[in-house]
Amino acid sequence: MVLDEQQWQRFSLDGFLHLGRVLTGPELDALRERAGDLATGTVHNEQVVMALESVGAAGEPAAAAEPDSRGYRQIQGLEHDDVFLPLVAHPLFLEVCARMYAPHAPISVFSATVLNKPAGQETALPWRQNGGTDWQLDRDPLVTIWVALDDATAASGCVQAVRGSHRGGLLTADGGPLSEQDAELHCDPELIVPLELPSGHAVLLHSWLIHRSGVNESAAPCRAFAGCYMDGRTISVSTGKHFSIVAGTVDEAPYPYIGQLERDHAAYTESLRVAEEHAVSLESELAALNERCELAETNVRTLEAELERTHRAHNRLPGRAANWLRSLLH
């Protein structure tokens, strides 16, 4: 599928665009099975993390879920999973990114996640935007793609979006959840659109689009894949590192100031190692000196005792012999 200009114009106005079917029936079955295996611990991948939902303050980390839990909210890090990777790097998604970030730009992934709404559970996501300083990136991501692994309906808590709300940019520098005041001001009920999708279908969201999802009141689980795609040259401002590249290449060398910090850190680490080795050697030398001092003190005591015996013997000699010995001693 290739998006035409009319579709791009609609996306520019609305902030979302239905992309149609991107997964076949067998592909869906394989991904749902993989998600279950990851959630139950049947399959283990150290780079894939299962987590409970966090809907608190922006930037609050998600709580880790226990193995064998069917009540997980998220499975994160799926760009590192061989079964999900073909979906992460789907040609249509890369075409979207080439349009949004320019054809020459490499593409990386900030997050590739399965979102789960177990049947009948009270799990809702409040109004929010993706991006802002809480994400600790040197630029905002613009592309979020959401793929239904199960039918996403209003009853199952599908994504809802405020049409055209991306055009106002981020409402706060932090990004993330909206305040009650911003939600009341910017979430006009007449502009709220439920993004219902059959399983296997995808929708493109501008990352600044105000969106939320509801509670799953149906009798079936509602699972979806969500990928947040970035210009591959994006770095974490906290680490200076790039993210996992799914298309193109990027110079892995850090920015000059990050490189200098790394070199300084290496030099300080080496200095610490040398200082610790020197301290150990000084301790060894001190122990040797203490041992020599103890030996010298023993020798002194021996000589003093010998001198005392000599004096006593001298005092017992006759006069002439004593004078002769005294002359030798003095």
78: closest CA among 69, 86, 66, 70? 86
Residue 60: its pLDDT value, please? 42
* pLDDT for position 57: 36
38 or 309, which is more confident: 38
Amino acid identity, residue 241?
A: K
Q: Taking 60 as the threshold, does the pLDDT of residue 38 lie above it?
A: yes
Average pLDDT over residues 95-119: 94
DSSP 242: B
**pLDDT the model gives residue 55:** 39
For the chain, counts of helices (H) and of strands (E): 7, 13
Supply the mean pLDDT for the chain: 87
The whole-model pTM stands at: 0.73
pLDDT > 90: percent of the chain: 59
What is the Cα–Cα distance from 93 to 247, expressed in whole angstroms? Answer: 11
User: If you average pLDDT over residues 88-94, what whole number do you get?
Assistant: 97
Q: What's the rounded Cα separation, in Å, for the pair 71 and 216?
A: 13
Mean pLDDT is lowest, of 56-60, 152-156, 181-185, 233-237, for 56-60
Cα separation, 198 vs 200, whole angstroms = 6
Give tens-digit pLDDT for 141-187. Answer: 999 999 999 999 999 999 999 999 999 999 999 999 999 999 999 99
The domain spans of the chain are 5-252, 260-324
| 143 alpha carbon, distance to own chain's centre | 19
- Sign, CA torsion 176/218/153/100: positive
Q: pLDDT band at 256, cuts 50/70/90?
A: low
Q: What is the DSSP string of 187-229?
A: --GGGEEE--B-TTEEEEEETTS-EEE----SSS-EEEEEEEE
Confidence of residue 100 (pLDDT cuts 50, 70, 90): very high
How confident is the model over 189-217, as pLDDT tens digits?
A: 999 999 999 999 999 999 999 999 999 99
**What per-residue confidence (pLDDT) applies to 162?**
98
pLDDT of 234 strictly over 90: yes
Place of tokens 């979102």: 115
Q: Is the pLDDT of residue 315 over 80?
A: no
Please write the tens of the pLDDT for every residue from 286-303.
888 888 888 888 888 888
Name the superfamily (CATH) of residues 5-252: q2cbj1_9rhob like domain (2.60.120.620)
Residue 306 has pLDDT above 90, yes or no: no
pLDDT in the model for residue 305 = 82
Q: What is the pLDDT of residue 271?
A: 87
- Asked whether the predicted pLDDT for residue 132 surpasses 70, the reply is yes
Q: Environment class of residue 287 by beta-carbon count within 10 Å: exposed (0-12), middle (13-18) or buried (19+)?
A: exposed
Report the candidate in 39, 60, 61, 59 with the shortest Cα–Cα distance to residue 49: 39
Residues 254-267 have a mean pLDDT of 73
pLDDT at 326: 60
E strands, 52-102, are: 74-76
Q: Average the pLDDT over each of 5-9, 83-87, 317-321 and give the range with the smallest value.
A: 317-321
| Residue found under tokens 């959401």 | 146
pLDDT (0 to 100) of residue 257:
63
Ramachandran assignment for 15, one of left (phi > 0), alpha (psi -120 to 50 degrees), beta (any other) = left
**Which pLDDT does position 274 carry in this prediction?**
87
Q: Is 234 helix (H, G, I), strand (E, B) or coil?
A: coil
